[in-house]
Structure 1
Amino acid sequence: MESRCEVGPSTTTTAGGDGKRKSKKKRTTTLYVDLLGDPMSRVRQTPEHVMLVAEYGEKKEMVGVIRACVKMVSRGREPTSHLPAYVKVAYILGLRVSPTHRRLGIGTRLVEQVEAWSLERGAEYAYMATDGSNAASLNLFSRLSYARFRSPAVLVHPVHAHHLSPPSSAATLLRLPPSLAAALYARLLPPSSTEFLPSDLPSLLSHRLTLGSFLALPSPISSPSFSPLSHPLPESFALLSLWDCTRVFRLRVAGAPATARAALALLRALDERAPWMRLPSVRDVFRPFGVYFMYGLRMAGPDGPRLLRSLCRLARNLAVTDEACAAVVAEVGPHDPVRAAVPHWRRFSWDEDVWCMKRIKVDNDDDWIASPPSTDTIFVDPREF
């Protein structure tokens, strides 16, 4: 069923006629997901998770599925006597209904059942994410009292066949051990200034799918024992962590025009045979491919954007060595300063990944949904991408 349900944004191209007959033909490019034989792969990384399926008819045909996980996240506000810094939320993802069984209320029933499961585990809110063009999903959750909450941007940069040139000697890139990275994030991303920061961030940073956390500084380090905790950070720095999605799921693009496929194949072949030309090639996205996800992106100071771009370059170079990876992705708040510094291709990115939220605990007096955002920083958990 997954293979029949598209995910992510879709684009439509229109071909005109020969000038005499105004015939038009629409071709839609869509994105499909492959869970690598593990339907729980996208929620398995969170301790509390569930998958529900819907069966139909006497033969018990599976016609729908939904997944969810429950965790503690920050509200991005100073804690008070009755509102702590963290709140328990449920994240709903992977809602699929077979195209032949839609408009039968199956999606509604699945959402209601997963809300009940989440409420039993103490969740006060439930939220989901979809792209702004997915009218069917937005209409369904709107009918179920979900309100638009946040709209982060998804930034995508394809992986070329060649390595990018290393950053200049004016920057020093450090790989941080998980414990040191967790301590640094605790200093730079306090829960009062960051929304959706998971309370189990140290576990996330040491997870087997986190490829590393990296710090960029503007000048060479003179002391071999330098530590960003025992030494003051310079005015300018950048920080990010990298997650390997290729072992969780694969994506596949379908419906692209033959001319586009041929052009991308030609560009890829030239880049593979002449890497010294450094052509902006794109790996074969018409076959299953994976991505690396950059999370926890932070920068500061006048050189912060340059240093963050150096870290993004490092991430793409790491991805070049992984044949399963075709793109490096980041998702950031719409007004987060790091958005302007992350290299991406506009054609493959989208500005509005709509997050909708609902308060499922009726005796909760918190006004998190109704209040305007108190911070520009949204922590996007790579386990939920």
Structure 2
Amino acid sequence: MIRVREFNMEKDSRAVEEMEKRCEVGPSATSATDGGKKKNKKKKTTSLYVDLLGDPICRVRHTPDHVMLVAEYGEKKEMVGVIRACVKMVSRGRESSSQLPAYVKVAYVLGLRVSPSHRRLGIGRKLVERVEAWCLARGAEYAYMATDGSNTASLNLFAGLSYARFRSPAVLVHPVHAHHLPPSSSATLVRLPPSVAAALYARFLPPSSTEFLPSDLPSLLSHPFTLGSFLALPSSSSPPSFYSLSHALPESFALLSLWDCTRVFRLRVSGAPAAARAALALLRSLDERVPWMRLPSVRDFFRPFGVYFMYGLRMAGPEGPRLLRALCRLAHNLAVADETCAAVVAEVGRHDPVRAAVPHWRRFSWDEDVWCMKRLKADTKDDNWIASPPSTDVIFVDPRDF
């Protein structure tokens, strides 16, 4: 009754797109309660839906080794499920040794969707098992996935397949305002060529101190969707040259790169309270009529919107937090010019010092994006990364995985 096979772009695109439009990617519906007793009615929470812009494989297309599988059901071969995965080399956050290299090959499993009308039939489990086999055949030693902490169904499914909770980074979201934020007058901002950015990341994000740093970082920095890599220095510093940046930096600095997700997918919020929708619409309307007041209006989250993703965030020195905030304002102001972008997002380690410096709205952010991991190769000489305590607070979140 259930058939799993590789995705065919010409044959499957429309069916996959229609199915995924019915699947939430945010929190699920929750039952309302009254006096401790459950009602029959369901109370919808705010949920997210994704639009892949006619390219269902876009979430993994930009990694060299990737796959997308689909599940068909019954004699009519109805499209009922989909899953994606990519295999890449990432750092383990430890010094390399003769037995344990700095990098390990891992599979990232993402975009698992099962049609709401065909759940509890084992489709999700079958998709995960098949994609694991594909990744194992390509040398992946571990597989990991990410979901928000409220997605009980996904967590239970992967727990039943021997995935264990591994890391819990924080997702920080800042809405894009209608106006530019004032730039910092005490910071010098430098746009870096990809080669210089790669050299700086090699110094300040070494594999020994960073988990999940991709070995193809130079390619990522020069990818067309990377809008730029930027460095912030105190304005009192001497004007830098690219040669000097490659060899020496002031005591205080900040560094980040910016990825354009609007060209990969769009999101749409559903189920928000009517009062919240009306308040945001009123602010936008007033702002259009009296722009000189610079009201804090934000873009319409209830229509399809995209985001910019900040990655590789680093800072150093006593002025590091202030300089990183200046770079975040720069990212926001770049997004203002893009009408399709409604938010600037970063995902960082839960205890990474940069977390406190990144501006965000708590209402739109969440503290726990649950990463679960499974060891695929049982005969490896690895010391079991999953069972080991974290050796660093720095997690590199690849924007291609977001």
Same fold (TM over 0.5): yes
Secondary structure class of the residue paired with 1:288 = coil
- Separation in 2, partners of 1:8, 1:58: 32
1:8 maps to which residue?
26
Equivalent residues, number = 379
Q: Deviations over 1:218-271 (max 9, x none)?
A: 125544635453552111100000000000000000111222111111112223
Corresponding residue to 1:117 among 120, 134, 152: 134
2:152 counterpart of 1:130: no
Aligned to 1:172: 188
Alpha-carbon spacing, 1:167–1:62, altered in 2? closer, same or farther (3 Å): same
Q: 1:326-366: CA deviations, max 9, x gaps? A: 00000000000000000000000000000000000111232
Deviation track 1:23-76 (CA, whole Å, cap 9, x = no partner) reads 998332110000000000000000100000000001000100000000000000
Distance 1:71 1:221, change over 3 A: same
- For the residues of structure 2 that align with 1:219 and 1:10, how far apart are their CA atoms? 47
Partner in structure 2 of residue 300 of structure 1 = 316
Give the whole-Å Cα distance in 1 for the aligned partners of 2:85 and 2:165: 19
What pairs up with 1:151-190 in 2 under 5 angstroms?
A: 151-168=168-185, 170-190=186-206
In 2, the alpha carbon distance for the partners of 1:119 and 1:163 equals: 47
Please provide the CA RMSD for this pair. Answer: 1.9
Query: Residue deviations 1:268-303, cap 9 Å, x none?
Result: 222333343333222111110000000000001111
Q: Is 1:68 the equivalent of 2:85?
A: yes
Distance (Å, rounded) in 2 between the aligned partners of 1:234 and 1:153: 29
Q: Which amino acid aligns with 2:254?
A: A
Identity level (%): 85
Question: What CA distance in whole angstroms lies between the structure 2 residues aligned with 1:283 and 1:56?
Answer: 40
Distance in 2, matches of 1:52 and 1:24, equals 35
What amino acid is aligned across from residue 308 of structure 1 in structure 2? L
2:64 aligned residue (47, 52, 55): 47
Contact 1:162 1:272 in 2 (8 A): no
Closer/same/farther in 2, CA of residues 23 and 116 from structure 1, 3 Å limit: closer
How many Å separate the matches in 2 of 1:327 and 1:96?
A: 24
AA matched with 2:394? T
1:356 maps onto 2:367 in alignment? no
> Does the CA-based 8 Å contact 2:199-2:246 persist in structure 1?
no
Moved more, 340-349 or 220-229: 220-229
Q: TM-score, normalised by structure 1?
A: 0.95
Contact kept in structure 1, 2:29 and 2:42, CA below 8 Å: no
Matched, 1:85 2:102: yes
TM-score, with structure 2 as normaliser? 0.91
3-state SS, counterpart of residue 63 of structure 2: coil
Matched, 1:256 2:287: no
1:239 and 2:255 are equivalent in the alignment: yes
User: Cα deviations across residues 71-102 of structure 1 (Å, max 9, x unaligned)?
Assistant: 00000001111110000000000000001100
Alpha-carbon distance, 1:12 to partner: 6.6
Q: Is the contact made by 1:306 and 1:341 (CA closer than 8 Å) also made in structure 2?
A: yes
CA contact (8 A) 1:15 1:24 kept: no
CA distance in 2, matches of 1:160, 1:11: 29
Q: Distance in 2 between matches of 1:39 and 1:361?
A: 29
Separation of aligned partners in 1, 2:301 and 2:272: 10
Matched, 1:316 2:332: yes
Cα separation, 1, equivalents of 2:115 and 2:71: 10
What is residue 395 of structure 2 aligned with on the other side? 378
User: Is the 2:196–2:246 contact (alpha carbons within 8 Å) kept by the matching residues of 1?
Assistant: no
Change (3 A) 1:90 1:166: same
Structure 1 window deviating more from structure 2 (301-310 vs 277-286): it is 277-286
Name the residue aligned to 1:57: 74
Q: Give distance in 2, aligned partners of 1:57 and 1:25.
A: 30
* 1:273 is the counterpart of 2:289: yes
**Preserved contact between residue 308 and residue 335 of structure 2 (Cα < 8 Å):** yes
Q: SS of the counterpart of 2:132?
A: helix
Secondary structure of 1:28's counterpart equals coil
Distance 1:121 1:212, change over 3 A: same
| 1:331-370 map, 5 Å | 331-366=347-382, 367-370=384-387
Q: How does 1:210-249 map to 2 (within 5 A)?
A: 210-220=226-236, 222-223=238-239, 225=241, 227-249=243-265
Q: Which residue of 2 aligns with 1:19?
A: none
Q: What displacement does 1:15 show?
A: 11
Aligned to 2:161: 144
Q: Residue type matched to 2:71 in 1?
A: A
Q: Distance in 1 between matches of 2:75 and 2:365?
A: 43
